[in-house]
Structure 1
Amino acid sequence: MTGFPTEVTAFPPGFTVDVFAAAFEASPTPMVVTDPRRADNPVVWVNGAFMALTGYDRDELYGHNCRRLQGPLTDRSTLDALREAITQGRSFECELLNYRKDGTSFWNGMTVNPVRDADGTILYFFSAQADMTHKHRLEIAMRDANGALEREVGERTADLRSALEQKTALLHEVDHRVKNNLQVISSLMLLKARRTPEGEARDALQAMADRIGALSTAHRMLYSEGDAARFDFRDFTDDLIADIAAGHEACGARVETEVEALALPASMAAPLALMLHELASNALRHGFPDARTGRVRVSARRADDGMELAVEDDGIGMAAAHPNPAGFGRMLVEMVVRQLRGTIAWSEGRPGTRVAIRIPLVGNSLP
């Protein structure tokens, strides 16, 4: 082939320079050979695929440096690395933005390797090249698509966040209004109780007002929570028990809480408030007659299958308490525990009363 460097003679028997050149000339891979022994390392051979890629003829390439393929957007740092590799006589791989004869650009994926003689002297640099423009277009398209997808995801996330904030605000507003309505109902019942003669009817009205007050307290706490779907049972219990204790200031017993931080579904707040109110109030009301001193302890902790809750006191105990045929506190507590899919055990303490409750938490979301 015209212009192919004939100094390279290390061929197998029967494989001549002409055969070698013909094979490279027929290759679909663009190839170029430069001679670093000449000034400016000029091109001394190219194959047809290289000319097809660049648009240049041989007479426009031979004797010229490959920099004529460079243009305004060719990356200078890659060029510097390429020149350094050539100066040091080592191989180099890169993708470089080059320009054809007609001025159109293309991404040139190239590998440059030194060709040495038997003594190790560099005779030529040989480069196989490939048009990587389609790959870069795909990368740009992918980046654009990813950018558009990220923008869409961001917009939808913002919409969902806004919808969630609106829903949370609505739920908080519902809790606030329910709390206010329950407070009004409780106040009306207390007013009626005060105007009712002492006896069973008055006690029933007072008890129902207290229970409605407990429900109001539950909704007040839900209103103050940041997450409308869940609440912290420890803070919830501390606030509720504090309200109950404040309503029984005449009782000589103190109330203690030891509750783990548990995030519970908001749907459990009302039944738990009723249950805790009933147990703690009954312990204070019936376990410590005649200003008897003592302690009521409310505890809760996470168990393997849910939550273990206990209300215990060191009062006079169930057997010694004054019977109340009209009361339905125990029935109410047991009904709530069943609603929560839990179990309950009543036992006499030494002294006092202990109520142990186990409530499953997995899947426990009340309507």
Structure 2
Amino acid sequence: MDSGDDTGSAYNSQVESAAVDARTFAMAFDASPTPMVVTDPRLADNPIVWVNDAFVDLTGYSRSELEGRNCRMLQGPESDRRAIEIIRDAMKRQASLEVELRNYRKDGTSFWNAMTITPVRNEHGELVYYYAAQADMTEKHALELAMKGTNDELARQVNEQTADLRAALEQKTALLHEVDHRVKNNLQVISSLVLLKARRTPQGEARDALQGMAERIGALSMVHRMLYSAGDVTRFNLEEFADDFMSDLTAGIDPERTAVSAEIEPISLPAAIAAPLALMLHELATNAVRHAFPDERGGRITISARRCETGLRVLIEDDGIGLKAGKPNPAGFGCSLVEMVVKQLRGVITWHDPVPGTRVEIVIPLQQDAPTGSASASAGRAS
């Protein structure tokens, strides 16, 4: 046998081997559990030219009913027009794509068809087929729909519970505002009664004590008036609080003789400390007004409050005669009251006696629980 015969035998062996490989691939695709279909874009309307058994089982059509027809035969009334346009556009561009489309079986039942469509080209790069591997995603969509229904129901329940909580909170807020309003009115009545008694009491320690008590009750009334008008029943703005306090403090002061100024940061504080804080500021400020400038002496009082590393730092200063030069008042208990309130607030108070004047420095820790003890019952929020 010459070399020509050897070459021909080799070629025939390659052809036979290629044919065997093709048949092997065809048998593998036929037996695959993945539905597969091949269409021929060179023929009119790009018809189906091959399907495997899994595709036949998926659609319910026989091979003879499928071959020669376009895949649009599986579309129906609920097939997404947008997805169909995406398929058409990809085929115009001869591009691969992945898409899900609602298709219909022969018996009319629908299923969600996930398709991976791939153009197949020959050795010259020419488009000869479209190959599509498919999967039934109906159960996945049913699960998604069930989960959506569950999520919608959960969202509805959450919205209902949120609405109930909001209504309960609004009711509680309205109740607390009403409590503040009533406490304010009651304290104003008590303050008026005490003042009335003071006016009918002869001048002396008893009358001074009654007037002082009426003013302290008035300071507490001012707190509940402010809390009643505030939007948040749990906290208050220190700057707004100070504005009300300063208005009450300076109402009866001659501004030509005594100047009172305040530098207050807009700090949000727990409503529970509003009453003790008001008592403390009232006691220190009114004491400065009354005792720092005797004999028609003029002067200045400065009140400041700002954050510090340990909490809230309050400073009350005057340029009056000072602590040591003041007249002792055996019946007075202002200093004791201030120290009691500062202790109640878990703070620290420091008395300074510069020359001239008096300086009181108070540091109160923030982010604390409501004040405890007997004093908080009278100074805290009514509930």
Q: Say whether residues 1:322 and 2:327 are aligned partners.
A: yes
**1:72-121 CA-partner distances (Å, limit 9, x unpaired):** 11111211221121122211110001000011110000001111111111
The answer to whether the Cα contact below 8 Å between 1:260 and 1:300 also exists between their aligned partners in 2 is yes
Q: CA deviation at 1:248?
A: 3.7
Task: Give the corresponding residue for 2:174.
Answer: 169
- The structure 1 residue matched to 2:280, chosen from 263, 275, 290, is 275
Task: Give the corresponding residue for 2:197.
Answer: 192
Q: Say whether residues 1:286 and 2:295 are aligned partners.
A: no
Q: CA RMSD in A?
A: 1.7
CA distance in structure 1 between the aligned counterparts of 2:56 and 2:162, rounded to whole angstroms: 52
Letter of the aligned partner of 1:68 in structure 2? M
Q: CA deviation at 1:250?
A: 8.6
Task: Give the corresponding residue for 1:362.
Answer: 367
Q: CA deviation at 1:350?
A: 3.0
Change (3 A) 1:12 1:122: farther
CA distance in structure 1 between the aligned counterparts of 2:362 and 2:244, rounded to whole angstroms: 20
Letter of the aligned partner of 2:370 in structure 1? S
State the secondary structure of the residue aligned to 2:356: coil
Letter of the aligned partner of 2:135 in structure 1? A
- The structure 2 residue matched to 1:204, chosen from 197, 201, 209, is 209
Task: Give the corresponding residue for 1:183.
Answer: 188
Alignment length (residue pairs): 359
Task: Return 136-145 or 178-187, whichever deviates more.
Answer: 136-145
The answer to whether the Cα contact below 8 Å between 1:196 and 1:202 also exists between their aligned partners in 2 is yes
- The structure 2 residue matched to 1:254, chosen from 231, 254, 259, is 259
Change (3 A) 1:237 1:10: farther
Letter of the aligned partner of 1:355 in structure 2? V
The answer to whether the Cα contact below 8 Å between 1:33 and 1:127 also exists between their aligned partners in 2 is yes
- The structure 1 residue matched to 2:91, chosen from 76, 86, 89, is 86
Letter of the aligned partner of 1:46 in structure 2? V
Q: With the length of structure 1 as denominator, give the TM-score of the two structures.
A: 0.94
Letter of the aligned partner of 1:290 in structure 2? D
The answer to whether the Cα contact below 8 Å between 1:251 and 1:284 also exists between their aligned partners in 2 is no
Letter of the aligned partner of 1:351 in structure 2? P
Task: Give the corresponding residue for 1:4.
Answer: none
Q: Say whether residues 1:61 and 2:33 are aligned partners.
A: no
State the secondary structure of the residue aligned to 1:96: strand
State the secondary structure of the residue aligned to 2:142: helix
Q: CA deviation at 1:202?
A: 0.9
CA distance in structure 2 between the aligned counterparts of 1:13 and 1:32, rounded to whole angstroms: 22
Identify the structure with the greater helix proportion: 2
The answer to whether the Cα contact below 8 Å between 1:25 and 1:48 also exists between their aligned partners in 2 is yes
Q: Say whether residues 1:133 and 2:138 are aligned partners.
A: yes
CA distance in structure 2 between the aligned counterparts of 1:212 and 1:65, rounded to whole angstroms: 92
Task: Give the corresponding residue for 2:10.
Answer: none
Task: Give the corresponding residue for 1:149.
Answer: 154
Could you tell me which runs of 5 or more consecutive residues in structure 1 were left unpaired when the two chains were aligned. 1-8
CA distance in structure 2 between the aligned counterparts of 1:292 and 1:136, rounded to whole angstroms: 88
Q: CA deviation at 1:14?
A: 8.1
Change (3 A) 1:15 1:348: farther
CA distance in structure 2 between the aligned counterparts of 1:161 and 1:10, rounded to whole angstroms: 81
State the secondary structure of the residue aligned to 1:16: helix
Change (3 A) 1:39 1:202: same
Of all paired residues, the percent bearing the same amino acid is 62
State the secondary structure of the residue aligned to 1:127: strand
CA distance in structure 1 between the aligned counterparts of 2:97 and 2:227, rounded to whole angstroms: 67
Letter of the aligned partner of 1:166 in structure 2? Q
CA distance in structure 2 between the aligned counterparts of 1:66 and 1:13, rounded to whole angstroms: 30
Task: Return 143-152 or 102-111, whichever deviates more.
Answer: 143-152
Could you tell me which runs of 5 or more consecutive residues in structure 2 were left unpaired when the two chains were aligned. 1-13, 373-383
